[in-house]
Amino acid sequence: MDECIFCKIIKGEIPSKITYQDDKVIAFYDIHPVAPIHILLLPKKHIININNVTGEDENLLGHMLITVKKVAHEQGISEKGYRLIINNGPDADQVVQHLHFHIIGGQPMHHPMG
């Protein structure tokens, strides 16, 4: 997926402010934050979205959730709370076709449904 912007970030071809990285995932600050803390966490393996995960991705998805906890703690938002969002597909406004979690916090959140 040479054209995927997140794959280019993973390869270091596009600069980003990385906050966490290991052999399976990378986390960096969103360039259009909606809160004081807005970090994107994604697998280094190119997976389009949740509809494209397979049984072989089970450990990777678990690792991503454990990493969310680690990143939230490092950012100082784990105690007060944060929002974890996965936009899946066009109707959910998934802009980049590479699975990613939005970790959003640092301020009180209002319920999106009103």
User: Does pLDDT of 99 surpass 50?
Assistant: yes
Give all domains of the chain, ordered by start, each with its CATH number: 5-81 (3.30.428.10)
Q: Which of 38, 100, 102, 110 is flagged as catalytic?
A: 100
Q: What is the pLDDT of residues 8-42, one digit of tens each?
A: 999 999 999 999 999 999 999 999 999 999 999 99
What's residue 10's pLDDT? 95
Q: 63 catalytic, yes or no?
A: no
What's residue 42's pLDDT? 98
Contacts of residue 48, defined as CB under 8 A and 6 or more positions apart, other chains included, come to: 97, 98, 99
CA angle 31, 94, 26 (to 5 degrees): 50
Q: What is the Rg, in whole angstroms, of the alpha carbon atoms belonging to the chain?
A: 14
**Cα-Cα end-to-end distance for the chain:** 38
Length of the chain: 114
What's residue 1's pLDDT? 47
